[in-house]
Amino acid sequence: MMSDINTQEQNKLSGEPLELERKFKTHCVDLASARVGGETLSCSDDFFAGMENLLKEGRGIFIDGKFTDRGKWMDGWESRRSYGRDNGREFDWCIVRLGIKGVIRGFDIDTNYFRGNAPQTVSVEACVSDVQPNKSTVWHTILKEVSVDAHSQNMFEITEDTSWTHVRLNMFPDGGIARFRVYGEADVNWNDFVDGELIDLAYIKNGAKALLVSDMFFSDKNNLIMPGRGKDMGDGWETKRRRDPGPDWSIVKLASKGSIEKVIVDTCHFKGNFPDTFKLEAMVSDSDDFTNGAQEDKWQPVIIQTKLYAHREHLFLSEIIPDNTQAFTHVRLSIYPDGGISRLRVFGKTGF
């Protein structure tokens, strides 16, 4: 028997579900991701595979021939067989605290590699709570019970504008789910910031969005605005090698219209592949459409083309051209000719 990882082919999206995933990944963030503070709090049962796997990166893997003392090792959340009401559990459930409070636009309930042990149907409830949900918590159904396919990404769109702090994923009657993505938009309470405080407007947890990049061959565009410093070279935005002068670029929608008073460009872990130079521009726009060069004439310089260094956090203050009375909604980071940036921080004030 082979023991290679992913010896069985993954089921990939196509058609309308693929377009829905692209929409979510372009215009939303994963509010439940462990990287932004999402956490599985409790579940009815995770006998075969732990609930914490639900929020991991990727789609989950399969290792042929790998077993634990409880059965087949699976990269997801898997409960024991409950047979419906026979043992007192009508269904299995898992409560997730969102890393970012926000409006939910859709779900990806991925049963990758759960072929003969996927649930028959699922539903999702949500609540707003300042404490860990308990027996008195009032849950609201936001995805009614619906069938799911085994070994598949099951995509669902949500069309309501309520903000939530927690969700409860239910599967009927039992089974396994590899990953759970909660796509949405951050709902930031600006009263949590004191008057005059510099706010990182390019931070995903404050509501920033990485909209469009020229290239993300090696890593995802959203890494640029994630919490903390990158943990390794894969935890950044890195492009493939260009054979022309460049640049590569990334457009970020700021969390709020605001001034730009402090900028950090971090090349953490990028030692032999950091960009030679960078440039930062900004604009004011009520549109997020930058395809095919749209709105190109609106960009104005914030930091002129400037040298970068390997594995370093670069701080820019006096180099910023606009004064603190100017406000912007979007920024564009250009890197020459290519390379990798771990994080971009754009600090400013809101209220314009």
Q: For residue range 68-78, what is the model confidence (pLDDT) as tens digits?
A: 999 899 999 99
pLDDT at 8: 59
Q: Nearest 5°: CA angle at 58, between 115 and 21?
A: 85
- Write the CA distances from 119 to 36, 145, 325, integer angstroms: 27, 11, 55
Q: Report the run of H or E that residue 249 belongs to, with start and end.
A: strand 248-258
Q: Nearest 5°: CA angle at 349, between 253 and 344?
A: 45
CATH number for 191-348 (one of 2.70.98.90, 2.60.120.260, 1.20.1730.10, 1.10.150.130): it is 2.60.120.260
Residue 62 near residue 8, CB atoms below 8 Å:
yes
From edge to edge, which strands make up the β-sheet containing 262-266? 199-200, 343-348, 262-266, 313-316
pLDDT at 7: 47
Using pLDDT thresholds of 50, 70 and 90, give the confidence band for residue 1.
very low
Tokens of 215: 């290239």
CATH number of 15-186: 2.60.120.260
Ranking 55-69, 83-97, 138-152, 215-229 by mean pLDDT, the lowest is 83-97
Largest separation between any pair of C-alpha atoms in the chain: 69
What is the Cα gyration radius of the chain? 22
Using pLDDT thresholds of 50, 70 and 90, give the confidence band for residue 328.
very high
Q: State the CB neighbour count (10 A cutoff) for residue 202.
A: 26
Residue ranges per domain, the chain? 15-186, 191-348
pLDDT at 346: 98
Round to whole Å and give the CA distance between 213 and 246. 13
Helices (H), the chain: 15-27
Ranking 103-112, 119-128, 216-225, 324-333 by mean pLDDT, the lowest is 216-225
Using pLDDT thresholds of 50, 70 and 90, give the confidence band for residue 150.
very high
Using pLDDT thresholds of 50, 70 and 90, give the confidence band for residue 307.
very high
pLDDT of residue 5 exceeding 80: no
pLDDT at 77: 98
Average pLDDT over residues 306-314: 98
126-152 in b/e form (b: 16+ CB < 10 A) is: beeeeeebeeeeebeebbeeeebebbb
Structure confidence by residue, pLDDT tens digits, 216-257: 889 888 999 999 999 999 999 999 999 998 899 999 999 999
pLDDT of residue 106 exceeding 50: yes
pLDDT at 2: 40
pLDDT of residue 6 exceeding 90: no
pLDDT of residue 85 exceeding 70: no
Average pLDDT over residues 179-193: 95
Average pLDDT over residues 311-316: 98
Give the rounded distance of the alpha carbon of 54 from its chain centre: 14
Average pLDDT over residues 306-335: 98
Round to whole Å and give the CA distance between 346 and 284. 15
**Average model confidence (pLDDT) across the chain:** 94
pLDDT at 3: 43
Round to whole Å and give the CA distance between 270 and 58. 22
Round to whole Å and give the CA distance between 301 and 142. 44
Helix (H, G, I), strand (E, B) or coil at 254: strand
| Lookup result for tokens 């009375």 | 325
Report which of residues 168 and 191 the model is more confident about.
168
| Amino acid (one-letter) located at 44 | S
